[in-house]
Amino acid sequence: MLPVLLTLSIIYMTNSGTSASVNTITLPQLIKENETISSNNEAFKLGFFSPVNTTNRYVGIWYINQSNIIWIANREKPLQDSSGVITISHDYTNLVVLNGQKHVIWSSNVSSNLASSNSNVTAQLQNDGNLALLENTTGNIIWESGKHPSNAFIANMILSSNQKTGERVKATSWKTPSAPAIGKFSATIERFNAPEIFVWNQTKPYWRSGPWNGQDFLGLASNWLPTSANLKGFIIRREDNGSLVEITYTLPNSSFFATIVLSSEGKLVYTAWINMIQVRKRVVQQNDCDVYGICGPNGSCDLKNSPICTCLIGFKPRNVGEWNRENWTSGCVRRATLQCERGKYNGSALDGEEDGFLKLETTKPPDFVEQSYPSLDACRIECLNNCSCVAYAYDNGIRCLTWSDKLIDIVRFTGGGIDLYIRQAYSEITKHTDTDGIHTHGIHGKRNITSIIIAIVIVGVIIVATLKIQSLLVLNAGQTHQENQSASPIGDVKQVKIEDLPLFEFKIISSATNNFGSTNKIGQGGFGSVYKGELPDGLEVAVKRLSKASAQGLEEFMNEVIVISKLQHRNLVRLLGCCIEGDEKMLVYEYMPNNSLDFYLFDPVKKKVLDWKKRLTIIEGISRGLLYLHRDSRLRIIHRDLKPSNILLDGELNPKISDFGMARIFGGSENEGNTRRIVGTYGYMSPEYAMEGLFSEKSDVFSFGVLLLEIISGRKNTSFYNHEQALNLLGYAWKLWNEEEIISLIDPEICKPDYVDQILRCIHIGLVCVQEIAKERPTMATFVSMLNSEIVKLPPPSQPAFIQSKIEHREDLAQQNYDSKNSVTVTSLQGR
């Protein structure tokens, strides 16, 4: 019994009740049943509550209401009645919870080491939900709830692990939804080399996030923690030479709040609110592949397979009997001995059959990664030269990742993850290799051959039925120009390996898009509609659904499948798969939250978001994407319809080129094609293409030049009016250039003295790209060198083509533009 406290509380109790607007507890103040203190922003409250289905009372902090408990004091020792109080201890050093008998049932347990003996502590509920114990003379925080998490991980809370002492600050689940006592699941930060979040089932790992690369957790199928869009991102600190790691996260603004709660079933649940209205709630671990190491060492989990586990390529079950009974715990072992191991064991000389790597795309990186900083090539070589290195991966954020020994917790995703390169013996590589040495495996092991063959047949039939002879050239992807058109179309389709493209079931796409509901619709065009959807693994996608009536659309659909399924570049929109069932034909893309470039560029308000740095990033991104199309991919591809509505923007406004419905593939030595059917968009077509149907890399460069000038001026080429001379943007730019007034072309939004030189250089490059004569325009490789000033002196531009504004201006209707058909400026004319 504490006489002082008792006296004070008696005095206190004679006063009126605690006002809800108070955010502190100072002696002699007490918080009783039915009373709370609130943070100044009124978002958080500290008080007594009971979970569902129990009358036990707990002291906790909640956000908005008691459905969202973010912290609990006495989780192990509930109060049985309503006689408890929250107060400061009699020695002024701790926050305590007392029961009806005035016994301390919970204490913040700070040892009495206050700076001054005259100091008292005050408990304060802060605007971020943190409960802090402040030393009142210095204002120092001597204890805070944020460093003692319960089951919720909120912004500014810190989880940490200390390698030297083994200490972990972790979030721990409740036993049951009615019992907040510490349950068997916990969440921690682990792996000092490349830290990531782990969920444990007691001492066994239950789930892991994969390493954080500065933007994303690499082991997540999808953006379930929408870091770029919602949270401002996680911050991982490594101190003491990496032996102490801490993780926290911050919020983008004060109207936003999020919690990541570890449920009593061991699932992380992410919930977000904007202006106190719940906007999102999702469970992270949703399926069997999320269970740590479910397929055993050297196994790989893919929900699209049945059964879900397969051995990695080049591996076989350690115990076939167990494996066939779907007991995968023993995992898989190599089929063929690695050359580096043979060398080691029998001392024999190298036999020329060197080990190599096979690629596994969109994969959750396995556990026990080693991280270092060499380049991509050095990473590969480092791994190749070290016999104990069994796999590597390269991520631009955290660079080189390598693994030794077993590979555990590999999951195949539809999108996201990394490309994992797995060391293989020469014999395995020759068995599985494609022409360029690194093979991509969509599905390995019990690959569902039936469905692939069906797909090939379906696709083949469609092509036979609809594509014209000239289009078959396109199908002959990556091969030399085909003179002889008698080759079987199905053979051609096989060449583009349609089986690498995942097939989605109609019912999955249908439920992902709320049965193609109107609220999910994000675009509409001649081909059909585009819908936003969410796949069962949480990945957000855009689904282009071909309208059954559109024959033209079908041709472009097939063209797009064939062209884009072979391409992978961060500045090209990613095709995740397709769905062909009955009359239904759909393409499934990664979802781009920020719409297309025209949406920002030509809007007086939205364009403000695009400062010069952002616009330069966009220009650079498009140029890298185009360079890849023209030169760096295994195929050579002319896009033929570059324009702002075909540049989609991701969460960080990075550009991705979309719409390959009109793209053309060139074989080996071919440089130029021509077509009778001229498709494209006025204002962006080069003269030789618009007039003669000739297209080449240089016609894309022309379109990009127009696009570049639009990005800098913030104005549309086709909608440009110059009152006196009826010039379009190109004509106007040329006029200003000759009058040495070109600076006035620059969008006032970006025209800052620091940037002017760089912007003028870009205009110059743009003018060089739109020159009348194709061969005077730079290639994309030259363009990139000009842009990054490897080429210092730029050639003087000659007069651009099409400087008169003859073409009637129409509004672009482009929305989520995965297809040019939703832009009415698209036209089709007969050339020659």
Ligand X SMILES: *[C@@H]1O[C@H](CO)[C@@H](O)[C@H](O)[C@H]1NC(C)=O
Q: How many CB atoms lie within 10 A of CB 13?
A: 12
Distance CA 447, CA 306 (A): 9
Specify burial of residue 508 (Cβ count, 10 A radius: 0-12, 13-18, 19+). Answer: middle
Distance CA 473, CA 635 (A): 13
CB of 763 to ligand X, least distance (A): 33
Structure tokens at 434: 């494609």
DSSP 216: S
Judged by beta carbon, residue 117 or residue 435, the one nearer ligand X is: 117
Judged by beta carbon, residue 391 or residue 610, the one nearer ligand X is: 391
8 A C-beta contact, residue 274 and residue 393: no
Q: In Å, how far are 65, 152, 302 from 174, measured between CA atoms?
A: 19, 10, 31
Output the CA angle 709-713-716, nearest 5 degrees.
75
Judged by beta carbon, residue 57 or residue 636, the one nearer ligand X is: 57
CA dihedral 34, 37, 39, 41 (to 10 degrees): 60
Q: Of 782, 789, 615, 801, whose CA–CA distance to 697 is shortest?
A: 782
Diameter of the chain by CA atoms? 103
* Close Cβ partners of 650 (under 8 Å, ≥ 6 residues apart): 228, 592, 593, 594, 656
Distance CA 492, CA 501 (A): 16
Structure tokens at 473: 């050239």
CB of 157 to ligand X, least distance (A): 16
CB of 287 to ligand X, least distance (A): 13
Show the beta-strand stretches assigned E in 405-539: 410-411, 418-424, 521-525, 528-534
Distance CA 463, CA 792 (A): 48
Q: How many CB atoms lie within 10 A of CB 177?
A: 13
Q: If DSSP codes are grouped into helix, strand and coil, which group holds residue 804? A: strand
Q: Which residues pair with 403 in a beta bridge?
A: 391
CB of 171 to ligand X, least distance (A): 15
Q: Which residue has the tokens 């904007």?
A: 274
Count of alpha carbons within 13 angstroms of residue 444, beta-carbon side: 24
CB of 742 to ligand X, least distance (A): 36
Residue 544 in marked binding region: yes
Distance CA 521, CA 206 (A): 37
| Chain residues that interact with ligand X, rule: CB under 6 A | 26-27, 33-34, 52-53, 65-67, 82, 92, 106-107, 109, 117-120, 136, 177-178, 201, 230, 240-241, 252-253, 255-256, 266, 274, 297-298, 306, 318, 322, 327, 329-331, 333-334, 390, 405-406, 448, 450-451
Structure tokens at 347: 């001392």
8 A C-beta contact, residue 705 and residue 680: no
CB of 325 to ligand X, least distance (A): 7
* Cis peptide preceding 28, ω within 30 of 0: yes
Judged by beta carbon, residue 55 or residue 327, the one nearer ligand X is: 327
Q: If DSSP codes are grouped into helix, strand and coil, which group holds residue 601? A: helix
CB of 156 to ligand X, least distance (A): 16
Q: Which residues pair with 242 in a beta bridge?
A: none
8 A C-beta contact, residue 593 and residue 816: no
Q: Which residues pair with 540 in a beta bridge?
A: 534
Phi, psi of 219 (to 5 degrees): -100, 15
Distance CA 685, CA 802 (A): 10
Judged by beta carbon, residue 9 or residue 471, the one nearer ligand X is: 9
CB of 747 to ligand X, least distance (A): 24
Is 641 among the residues known to form the active site?
yes
Judged by beta carbon, residue 9 or residue 645, the one nearer ligand X is: 9
CB of 534 to ligand X, least distance (A): 18
Judged by beta carbon, residue 257 or residue 682, the one nearer ligand X is: 257
Q: Which of 216, 395, 492, 641 is catalytic?
A: 641
Q: Which residues pair with 680 in a beta bridge?
A: 827
Judged by beta carbon, residue 38 or residue 66, the one nearer ligand X is: 66
Judged by beta carbon, residue 333 or residue 508, the one nearer ligand X is: 333
Judged by beta carbon, residue 306 or residue 519, the one nearer ligand X is: 306
CB of 331 to ligand X, least distance (A): 4
Annotated binding site for ATP: 544
Binding site residue list: 544
Active-site annotation, residues: 641
